[in-house]
Structure 1
Amino acid sequence: MSSALKNLSDFSTANLPDVSQKRFAIVVAEWNTEVTGALYTGAYDTLLKYGVQESHIISVQVPGSFELSLGAQKMAEKADIDAVICLGCVIQGETRHFDFICQAVADGVTNVSLKYNKPVIFGVLTPNNQEQAMDRAGGKHGNKGDEAAMTAIKMLAIN
């Protein structure tokens, strides 16, 4: 089924770990706040829904998606943080800037995860336009923030 025809935030909740004592950091880009704010709300609400204590969620803002990697690293280096969720949105423009930013963020988030041996989740939208971004930020295709939070929870089940 084409992703254009479904809600991408439908996920299995079977065999989820107990996350009531886990601590999460959500690092969110300020750039394009209409989208990133909706992603943040989705991630935050999903963590609460599946048992994370409100006091165990730390929120950090960074200027844009490019800065997510350093924000994630600052959170991941904290011993009491179990998982980091990175949320941003980079919309395709007329130049190659989009490609450079997206690649840098994807590589940076991956590297932080491997360096600190803990889940650092890539919850960054890379749509062609604002409409597609809103469709994935709580619109007809679900909320990438929900998915990122669920991914963080599921990754904590891996021993």
Structure 2
Amino acid sequence: MQGSDKGHAAAQASLNGQDLRIGIVQARFNHAITSRLAEACVAELKALGVDEKHIRHVTVPGALEVPIALNAMADSQDYSALVALGCIIRGETYHFELVANESGAAITRVGLDNQIAIANAILTVENEEQAWARAEEKGRDAARVAVEMANLMEDLQ
């Protein structure tokens, strides 16, 4: 088998969003930044062929509330993939680490427990300048991840 990949062809990443249903949960904390994430995400989903009527976008107070809304969406079994949007900016206390770690772990748990792909685009940054520098690209990237993973999960089942 040296030098041969026969029988082991990797699946091509599919960014075809047609017929997919995508749920987006956006934290309102740092609203201007998270709104930019959401705008970029929705625009990219549409560019990938996801019908606007198949995109459900809800908001929650902050990053710690994102996982419970994702879990409710996952429980409904109405979605092909989910997207988590938020922005956590480091402050002077341990709160940054708590929110970043707990929200990230809970989002992962929701995905694993429900066997649904979740694109985690909750920014964890040192300052607002870093958040603005990343918001648009991370929003677009979350859309691409959601579509690619929805298609992969469909192929794997």
What TM-score do you get using the length of structure 2 for normalisation?
A: 0.87
SS at match of 1:137: helix
Matches within 5 A, 1:1-159: 15-138=13-136, 143-158=137-152, 159=156
Stretch of structure 1 that moved more, 22-31 or 71-80: 71-80
Distance, in Å, in 2 between the alignment partners of 1:84 and 1:24 is 6
The residue type paired with residue 130 of structure 2 is Q
Q: For the pair shown, which has the larger CA radius of gyration, 1 or 2?
A: 2
Provide the C-alpha distance between the structure 2 equivalents of 1:137 and 1:18, rounded to a whole number of angstroms: 23
Shift of 1:19: 2.3
Mapped to 2, the partners of 1:97 and 1:52 lie a distance apart of: 36
* Distance in 2, Cα, partners of 1:16 & 1:113: 20
- Deviating beyond 6 angstroms after TM superposition, the runs of 4 or more aligned structure 1 residues are none
User: Following the alignment from structure 1 to structure 2, what is the Cα–Cα distance between the partners of residues 45 and 156?
Assistant: 18
- Shift, 1:157, TM fit: 2.6
- Amino acid corresponding to residue 21 of structure 1 in structure 2: D
For 2:36, the aligned partner's letter is A
The alpha carbon displacement at 1:18 in A equals: 3.2
Contact 1:17 / 1:156 at 8 angstroms: preserved in 2?
Answer: no
5+ residue gaps, structure 2, are 1-11
User: Is the 1:25–1:83 Cα contact (8 Å) retained in structure 2?
Assistant: yes
SS of 1:60 mapped into structure 2: strand
> 2:121, 2:138 within 8 Å by CA — same for their partners in 1?
yes
What 5-or-longer segments of structure 1 have no aligned partner?
Answer: 1-13
Letter in 1 for 2:99: I
Question: What is the letter of the counterpart of residue 143 of structure 2?
Answer: A
Q: When you count helix as a share of all residues, which structure comes out higher? A: 2
- TM-score, length of structure 1 as denominator length: 0.86
